[in-house]
Structure 1
Amino acid sequence: MTKQFAFALATGLLPAVSTVAATSVTAFVAAQPAMAQQVSNAQSVRWIQVEAQPTLREAEARARAYAGRLEGVNGFRLGSNWYAIVLGPYTESAAELQLRNLKSAGLIPADSFIAFSNQLRQQYWPVGASSLNVAPVEAPAQTQEAPQPEPVAVAPTTSTEAVVGLPDETKREAQVSERALDRDARKALQVALQWEGYYTSTIDGAFGPGTRRSMAAWQTDYGYEPTGILTTRQRAVLMDNYQSVLAVLGMAPYEDQTAGISMAIPAGMVEFDRYEAPFVHFKTKDGSDVQLVMISQTGDQNTLFGLYDILQTLEIVPTGGPRERGKNGFTIEGENDKISSFTQVKLLDGTVKGFTLVWPKGDDKRRALALGDMRASFSSLGEQALADDAGLDASTQSLDLLSGLEIRTPDLSRSGFYVDNKGHILTTTEAVQSCARVSVNDAFDANVIASDEALGLALLEPASAQAPIAFASFVNAEPRLKSDVAVAGFSYEGRLSAPSLTFGTLSELTGLNGESELTRLTLAALPGDAGGPVLSTSGSVMGMLLPARGTNSRTLPADTSFATDANTVAAFLSAHGITASTTDSVASVDPVELNMKAADMTVLVSCWN
């Protein structure tokens, strides 16, 4: 919106600008002024025609979209089976003024024009209405008590320049000019004060003590005398600041017939990109870093609940924030140090529809304006929803993508294993260093309750009660050199759903430098295996595999691995209140049983930030 438009609103010269609702930030729209008279001559009635559609269905959809943002929206059939969407009715002067203002504000198409009643046939919108008999809206009358200054034509640059031509006023003069404002102009001022953070009460157009205190606080912060009554110039500054933000957001009605969704979007910040079921992707515009995803698919409550779980695995939905799920919809809020995310999804017309808005962190005021309007305007256009294969033929397929959205992945994943029947887990310190959150098997979180950097051991306690199927039994006798061993671990850091067994031999009972707490294995482990149990052929645990070792000046053979031995692990556990289970069994088990034992005790440990 232009600053000239904001000036007219603030001074009462614009006859039909209001907020649709307290939560609607783009609803400076056509409102009915207090003064209206019945005009008997039909030729004096004017309408603003904004669109014409060739079918009734298209026309109704467009009328619905306009009605969500503008007052006075009507639909009439024209000749030759065309259907018009019009605003009105107005007197001649009011129509001309309104046409100019709404065009300049970008709220209606640039080719909108004035139409006459005799060009309109049967009314189809709103259903059952008879607007041809309604008295037209007049332009606001000037009062002797509060003569209104002529708008000052200035370039749309800064707020200071936009109001330089406005007269300054005494408190008494400000009271007089304020009384000339209609209710919609008063509500608009409350909305602007609310956005600035000064007004927290109901948007009702009544200037009570709360509004007066907020005006005085705003005046103080902007260097004005805190009278609690805004002058014409101060109202223009307040509204101009607010309108400048609206202009950047570019909130505009948007309909997607393919997805069956109608809502307002920040068109100045995002633009349509592609379909990739069940999402409609909008890409960031002009470096705004704002991202919008509409959600549309056919489904029922099971679909809704499944989507609730899936969305929380996405990068655009941070883990920190409230979640609320009901039987017919849910909301998810998320926030991290980079973005704020809001998701709203509803079960409507036999479909699951909603949106996710992603906003850069630190821009909360503009985000609140946009989000309030989006939530208030969101609606389903019926049973139409994205086809299950919409856009998938051209999509990029990846394990880390879900319909074009990046799935949240951990910073690091390693292995671990249960060491008692209460679910305590032993893993490598590498797996839990500098983690905001540690998860186990992507199923539950765990807390680090003890660690020893020198030994490379970390002990985890599950955040919720667990009852593992199996846990480690440590060998209590010295193992035999050159015996067969196996390491159970998530070699590929969770890309496979179960741990793998990597086979090798016990090559030395110490480290290369004689470290008594280590054993050396000839075994080609991968990074994800670290933290996993080293198993004998009997299924007993001989120790825990450590991350690959080496120095900048020496590279070890690829099949050289090291493990902390069973005695050292048992002593570490005992020091922290865990009594390790031991066994002296040396009887080999068949590979199937060994694999089952390994799978039951080994877990995936993931570090998240």
Structure 2
Amino acid sequence: MGFQTGRLAFRAASLTAIALVMGMGAYAQDVRWVQIEAQRNLEDALERARLIEQQLSNVNGFRLPSDWYAISVGPFENETEAFSVRRQLRADGIIPADAFVSNGSDYLEQVFPASGTAMTPTPPVQDSLPQAAQTEDPAPLTGLAPEPEPEPQPTPEETLREAQAAERALDRDTRADIQIALQWFGFYNLGIDAAFGPGTRRAMTAWQEDRGHAPTGVLTTAQRTELLEGYRAELAALGMDTWRDEDAGISIDLPLSMVAFDRRETPFVHFSERNDSGVQVLLISQAGTQATLFGLYEIMQTLEIVPLEGLRERRQNSFVLTGQNDTLRSHTVAQFRNGEVKGFTLIWTPERDEQMARVLPMMETSFATFSGSLPASAGQPSTVQRAALLSGLSVRRPQFSRSGFYVDATGTVLTSAAAVAECGRITIDEAYNARVIARDEGLGLAVLRPETPLVPMAFAQFHNRETTLGAEVTIAGFSFEDVMTRPVLTFGRVEGMQGLNGEADTLRLSAEVRQGDLGGPVFGSNGAVIAMLQGQPQDDARQLPSDVNFAVNAAVIQDFLRASNISSGTLREDVVVAPEMLTRMAGDLTVLVSCWN
């Protein structure tokens, strides 16, 4: 059998099963090996073992009963660990496809490495007793007294010179493993180069101080064992292993002891928590455009798995979302490339902070994409919309939502003062935090400025001329509040040029509207904004007909904006916007204003 050559640098996740010590006995009941190949004669076996040792650590050679010679990697503490390493090495193309897991029952004397001692079978105690002693109620054996167990002898601590000598004998893989382990525990933050320079020495010293050892900067044999065994124990507890999803076109290392595959629903592959771990994972995969990426960025922020406090960073072709609160943490990354949007979300509870601080870099480093994305038939439509994200995920809802509209090119929004009167947090389109920068309670107007400057597709062009009675109007608003992601158009006409009590700043409209429409723009027939919808005045003693509503006229709005040092645009006299263009423009400049408490 052949073996693929080329220098191997084990990834961190594949180190979970490599055993440190050989003193466990080759034939302990659970010990397993990964047998790579077998050679007919000893000379060839030794040559192959030396070659393979340049690529892999823990290489051993044994004579077989057939007088062939087995070359194996191990030992591993149990069958699960051996199969995990075999799967990883085969996936990476490091070992041949016919390599197999062996229990070592046919391994005789050890022929490689040369310094290794012969490893003889250690059969179970039951098999070594006479047959009479294996009965359910064995008779006592005469003349056999149990020998007392020897007291364990403490291993003498190496001197600094002895530790240095032992360190010089380490192979490159072991030195790299030490750096990886130091990095895992947060003591080393430089590159894994297997060279013990000043950075590695400082990390060793810090680890020794943390563990109560003398801070020499050189690990003794016992300290190396403690460090590496601790690292491998943590990896085993997490179950870090590669998940390759052919449907999603994603390969990534996941903590499979904490999460388990659940289902695929475009645009997500869901991994639910395992054994109440408090950890979940979403893989993100779908065909789309840059607009799909940006839509995902906005809508993800409405999900409960993305707490409000955290980093929000959107770039041209990628974004990062982090969130944290008292009960939940999450980290989302996504990118747009070659017509596909792909990424992942890691979700965990606060008690897992330390572990996830180690898992997240491993996921980010291992994340890779290949051709293919979740199809539209995988549970939900492939277009990123709010409905596509509701499958299995809880959406965070505001206390209420109203409408507003952009009044300049930097994303400044005009809305109803009542919409933002007592809000702990205000958002625009549920994705962008905003604050009130001007307010007039008498007029019922408020101006919002997004915390991050926005570039709207369109903003209001006001109408300077007086509106005529009976003129047809179009009102844009989120009639159903946050249920829909685009505004609804409502049609009506101008019934009066003032309020019921003679208010000169008000238009009376005949139009059926809903609470979510309040604060939205009122368009004239030429496409200019002639007013902002106010609705009906509060009057507990009277109930107006449902189609009687009021709006603040454009002249008053512009005076208010100028007084607040906010510029606004005016539509030219000769411009008339076609109905189909008005529909698109209304959708681009009208925004959802949400109040959160």
Give the letter for the 1:90 counterpart: G
What's the CA shift for 1:267? 0.6
What's the CA shift for 1:107? 4.4
Q: Tell me if 1:197 matches 2:176.
A: no
Q: Tell me if 1:286 matches 2:275.
A: yes
Q: Which position in structure 2 is the counterpart of 1:243? A: 232
CA contact (8 A) 1:168 1:231 kept: no
Q: Which position in structure 2 is the counterpart of 1:341? A: 332
Aligned to 2:61, which of 87, 90, 112?
90
**Normalising to structure 1: TM-score of the pair?**
0.60
Q: Tell me if 1:544 matches 2:532.
A: yes
Distance in 2, Cα, partners of 1:307 & 1:492: 23
What's the CA shift for 1:273? 1.4
Q: List aligned pairs for 1:257-276, cutoff 5 A.
A: 263-276=252-265
Give the letter for the 1:250 counterpart: G
Cα deviation digits, residues 502-541 of structure 1 (max 9, x gap) = 43675794578x9886666665421221112346789876
Cα deviation digits, residues 338-379 of structure 1 (max 9, x gap) = 3112346766xxx96954142337656534543454455566
3-state secondary structure, aligned to 2:176:
helix
What's the CA shift for 1:228? 2.0
3-state secondary structure, aligned to 2:76:
helix
CA contact (8 A) 2:417 2:440 kept: yes
Q: Tell me if 1:472 matches 2:459.
A: no
> Identity rate of aligned residues, in percent?
31
Distance in 2, Cα, partners of 1:183 & 1:549: 79
Give the letter for the 2:517 counterpart: D
Q: Which position in structure 2 is the counterpart of 1:388? A: 375
Q: Which position in structure 2 is the counterpart of 1:604? A: 590
Q: Which position in structure 2 is the counterpart of 1:312? A: 297
What's the CA shift for 1:472? 1.8
Distance in 1, Cα, partners of 2:427 & 2:337: 30
3-state secondary structure, aligned to 2:480:
coil
Distance in 1, Cα, partners of 2:235 & 2:493: 66
Instruction: Call closer, same or farther: CA 1:577–1:277 in 2, change over 3 Å.
Output: closer
Q: List aligned pairs for 1:115-514, cutoff 5 A.
A: 137-138=112-113, 141=116, 167=155, 169=157, 171-172=159-160, 174-175=163-164, 178=167, 181-256=170-245, 263-277=252-266, 279-294=268-283, 308-309=293-294, 311-315=296-300, 320=311, 332-337=319-324, 338-343=329-334, 355-360=343-348, 366-367=355-356, 369-374=358-363, 385=372, 388=375, 390-392=377-379, 399-402=386-389, 404=391, 411=398, 414-417=402-405, 425-429=413-417, 434-435=424-425, 438=428, 449-459=437-447, 463=453, 468=458, 471-474=461-464, 487-493=475-481, 495=484, 497=486, 499-503=488-492, 506=495, 509-510=498-499
Distance in 2, Cα, partners of 1:111 & 1:454: 75
3-state secondary structure, aligned to 2:227:
helix
Q: Tell me if 1:101 matches 2:100.
A: no
Cα deviation digits, residues 280-333 of structure 1 (max 9, x gap) = 332232333433344667x7xxx57576445434527979455677xxxx6543
Q: How many residues align?
A: 485
Q: Which position in structure 2 is the counterpart of 1:12? A: none
Distance in 2, Cα, partners of 1:180 & 1:284: 43
Distance in 2, Cα, partners of 1:420 & 1:251: 50
Instruction: Call closer, same or farther: CA 1:497–1:243 in 2, change over 3 Å.
Output: same
What's the CA shift for 1:575? 1.0
Q: Which position in structure 1 is the counterpart of 2:146? A: none
Instruction: Call closer, same or farther: CA 1:107–1:250 in 2, change over 3 Å.
Output: farther
Q: Which position in structure 2 is the counterpart of 1:78? A: none
Q: Which position in structure 2 is the counterpart of 1:527? A: 515
What's the CA shift for 1:190? 1.6
**Normalising to structure 2: TM-score of the pair?**
0.61
Instruction: Call closer, same or farther: CA 1:435–1:393 in 2, change over 3 Å.
Output: closer
What's the CA shift for 1:250? 0.6
Give the letter for the 2:62 counterpart: T
Instruction: Call closer, same or farther: CA 1:125–1:448 in 2, change over 3 Å.
Output: farther
What's the CA shift for 1:435? 4.6
CA contact (8 A) 1:489 1:500 kept: yes
CA contact (8 A) 2:490 2:512 kept: no
Distance in 1, Cα, partners of 2:455 & 2:336: 32
CA contact (8 A) 1:413 1:604 kept: no
Q: List aligned pairs for 1:36-115, cutoff 5 A.
A: 48-49=34-35, 90-91=61-62, 99-101=74-76, 103=78, 106-108=81-83
Distance in 2, Cα, partners of 1:420 & 1:262: 44
Which ranges in structure 2 are unaligned for 5 or more consecutive residues?
1-6, 22-31, 38-53, 88-94, 100-109, 118-151
Cα deviation digits, residues 23-50 of structure 1 (max 9, x gap) = 63443466999xxxxxxxxxxxx97359
- Greater RCO, 1 or 2 (C-alpha within 8 Å, sep 6+): 1
CA contact (8 A) 2:474 2:491 kept: yes
Distance in 2, Cα, partners of 1:201 & 1:450: 50
What's the CA shift for 1:204? 3.0
CA contact (8 A) 1:29 1:71 kept: no
3-state secondary structure, aligned to 2:184:
helix
What's the CA shift for 1:335? 1.3
